[in-house]
Structure 1
Amino acid sequence: MFDTLRDLPPLPGVGYKPQHFAALLDAPGAVGWLEIHAENYMGDGGRPLAQLRAPAERFPVSVHGVGLSIGGAAPLDRDHLARLAHLTGWLKPARFSEHLAWSTHDGAFLNDLLPLPYTDATLTRVCDHIGRVQEALGRQMLLENPSSYLAFAESTWEEPAFLAEIARRSGCGLLLDLNNVFVSAVNLGLSAEAYLDAFALEAVGEIHLGGHDEDSDEHGAPLLIDSHGRAVADPVWTLLDRVLDRVGPRPVLIEWDTDVPDWPVLEAEAARAGRAPARAAAKAGGAAPSACGLTPEVFSGPKKTGGLRA
């Protein structure tokens, strides 16, 4: 049995960037927590880890990984997982999250988050990998919905149901990236609203917002790229309001990882995110929100289920 995660506040967070170090500590504004990209801090000592200590002591932290290849066909990299366990043991973050994707093949790391077919075989593999991660870290993890640019003909599950079943079988929570929802809906010709209506919102422990680039494919159809390089688009803010109207305040992260702006620009985006939960709380009659969106419990391994689905 593992200790439950300490909660993230239902406030806006930002991804930690060293260039914002002084401003973040002196005038954090609306920011209530920080996201740390795990692979940037998995070395042994050095200035990056030393500089991380002050903000990590002041703010609740969520650690976000990109290199575990949760959906990969190969076993998890034991060395990578051990370094990740060392980092989370030192930081003691409120959350750890990873992606529903794969990024390794034949021992090579491909430096991208690649898509998966949603089949029963994929489901079993992903749940097994999540179980191994949760055992190694001694904590529940969150799994993030991907941004999609294609769909597999062999998929037998819709993405929201697939993610819900992963959460049910493995005991993990979910990270709802609303920019990914919007990007995928435009690229695949789907409804973002219908996706959210089918999503297991009760399992959501974090919500992420970010910017995207607009392009077109060879036929002239819109093609959106999840770039994290600009302000959050208005349709994504609308999706946030839709979700919070249903579930109440949640920790909301602003992601801005390329063409990173000066601190006042990022803080203004965080402040806008902070106003959305307040509107949701007022709509709900001022009821006290859950701090994390998940039922507090100790993690004792994957949940047992019978079968996959009706």
Structure 2
Amino acid sequence: MRYTDLSRGEAIYEDFLRRAGRIPFLGLGLSVDVYSPDIFDLYEELRSQQIPMAYLEIFHAASEALAMVRARLSDIPLAYHAEGIWVTQPDWDTAYNSQERLQATAFNLRMLQPHWVNQECAAKEIGGFSFGTYLPPVFTRASAEITAYQTWNAQLQLDQFDWGQQVSSPLLLLEVPPLTYFSMGEMPYAEFFANISAKSPCGLVLDLGHVWTAYRYSGAWRKQGLESFFEAFLEQFPLERVIEIHIAGLDCHPNIHTGLDTEPHGPQNWIDAHEAPIPDELLMLLTRVLGDSRLLNLKGIALEVDNKPIPLICREMKMVMEMVEPPGHLIAQVRSSATELQRESNFPVENVEPSRETRDGLTLQYREYMALVREVLSGRLDVPGSLDAEMNMGLHVYATQYLPYEILTWGGDVRVMFPNACDLLAQYGISLKQFVEFWFAHPRTSESGIEYDFFLLKIDLFVKFIGQIFPEASSLVKQEAELLIQGYLLASQGAST
């Protein structure tokens, strides 16, 4: 069958198969941070216990640290978890240094030579506001259409780079995102990714913990048990696009008392927590999905273990190894037509740009999304009338508890970062809650250059906050900021030396 005989949907899927067919089946690996735990200490401990590890998926880090990983672990197959490619955002091309970020990603990809590059289908910068952890997209038809277009466009741009020893550019994957207490939009979680797959040849990462949070915070748990929810999810979800499966821990936030109503036998108020043990619920989901006949293109299963103690990582690797079928059972059976297409140098399938009306509509949806979060955060709106009771409670917990913790403590406690400046604020009765209000006072143009770095952003905004609220301390806070930046850059670039 030739391309001209295919429908558009079939042609898009063939393009995906052509790209996926270049990736070998890897097996059971780890998705890791370079720094915590130290990746080389982890590798040596796995070797000492004779625990096989098929590959490593490396989360975004300083290029110098990534180069060290490639040099010291030269025989280990790699994948790469990128950061800052916000394809969910309608202004991705214009507001987030998209070309520079793709170039920086390509630089790291050439260095690592990974089989794929994974980007969370979520963002940490939305409508001029910045966050430390991912916010999922609005789950609407317009959102799926634009995400699909921009994901494919990013892949096409990556295809244009010089890949040196690599035969071709790595396949771009979208990872299903976590829900942190709430979600926005009327489209079901699984259907959203089916819509993306119908319009883009991207691969997918099926994160089982993230799916559990969709079960918990969509309110689905009130209507059905986890197993029946997952069965219905799998019926809608495009399993044939799954290149990788993630499994990690879930836990209640240690510093947040949610106040969410849970029936006596209802699920816990868990959120995504890579440092926590893998719960039995996710092991059950893993067993179920690995037995599905539509899982045709799976290449790897990764335990996400950043911030997890090494002894626990080793125990869980052994446990999951016993669950996973022999590799031959999981190797993708790519159709012969796709194998023929792999030999073609050009594959003439067009990426159709969404209409201006669709893009403007999504822009408005994100503005409303951010306005709602800010209004609840500020206390101007307690219960959004447009949301059901479950979403009301979840959004309230997110905006009034999770976000302030994120700004003040997560990824760098401002009291520890700026001890002298914070002491002065305390002496004059100035609450750090005002910094949270300052952070979300108004949208800002992305000023972070090519990279998105929450720690450096926090430093920059705290200096600006002090300059506005207490200018007498500006010199002091700038001195503290300079020391922080110098130490952070040295630590990032010289990690694990």
Q: Does 1:37 align with 2:67?
A: no
Which of the numbers 174, 178, 182 marks the counterpart of 1:150?
Answer: 182
Q: Does 1:49 align with 2:95?
A: no
Q: Does 1:169 align with 2:199?
A: yes
AA aligned to 2:52 is A
Question: By how many angstroms is 1:115 displaced?
Answer: 2.1
Gaps of 5+ in 1: none
Q: Paired residue for 1:119?
A: 140
Q: Paired residue for 1:180?
A: 210
- Shift of the 13–72 alpha-carbon distance from structure 1 to 2, 3 Å rule, reads same
Q: Paired residue for 1:192?
A: 230
Gaps of 5+ in 2: 1-14, 160-168, 221-228, 263-267, 355-497
AA aligned to 1:276 is M
Q: Does 1:272 align with 2:319?
A: yes
SS in structure 2 of the partner of residue 58 of structure 1 = coil
Question: By how many angstroms is 1:183 displaced?
Answer: 2.0
Question: By how many angstroms is 1:189 displaced?
Answer: 2.6
Question: By how many angstroms is 1:198 displaced?
Answer: 2.5
Structure number with larger C-alpha Rg: 2
Contact 2:194 2:236 in 1 (8 A): no
Map of 1:274-293 to 2, 5 A cutoff? 274-278=321-325, 288-290=329-331
Structure 1 Cα separation of the partners of residues 238 and 332 of structure 2: 17
CA shift digits 1:224-243 (9 cap, x unpaired): 21121111111000000000
CA shift digits 1:254-306 (9 cap, x unpaired): 11223x302x321221222222222xx5xxxx96431599977659476779x
AA aligned to 1:174 is L
For normalisation by structure 1, the TM-score amounts to: 0.81
Q: CA RMSD in A?
A: 3.1
CA shift digits 1:31-63 (9 cap, x unpaired): 11001112x13x4x4xx1342123542111110
Q: Paired residue for 2:304?
A: 255
SS in structure 1 of the partner of residue 182 of structure 2 = coil
- Shift of the 301–146 alpha-carbon distance from structure 1 to 2, 3 Å rule, reads farther
Contact 1:31 1:267 in 2 (8 A): no
Structure 1 Cα separation of the partners of residues 142 and 83 of structure 2: 22
Structure 2 Cα separation of the partners of residues 217 and 81 of structure 1: 38
For normalisation by structure 2, the TM-score amounts to: 0.53
> In proportion to residue count, which structure has more strand?
1
- Shift of the 288–70 alpha-carbon distance from structure 1 to 2, 3 Å rule, reads same
Q: Does 1:135 align with 2:156?
A: yes
AA aligned to 1:211 is G
> In proportion to residue count, which structure has more helix?
2
Question: By how many angstroms is 1:129 displaced?
Answer: 1.4
Question: By how many angstroms is 1:252 displaced?
Answer: 1.1
Structure 2 Cα separation of the partners of residues 61 and 52 of structure 1: 10
Structure 1 Cα separation of the partners of residues 334 and 212 of structure 2: 22
Q: Paired residue for 1:240?
A: 286
Contact 2:247 2:278 in 1 (8 A): yes
Structure 2 Cα separation of the partners of residues 273 and 102 of structure 1: 30
AA aligned to 1:246 is D
CA shift digits 1:147-194 (9 cap, x unpaired): 123232x42x32212202212211001100001111221222322342
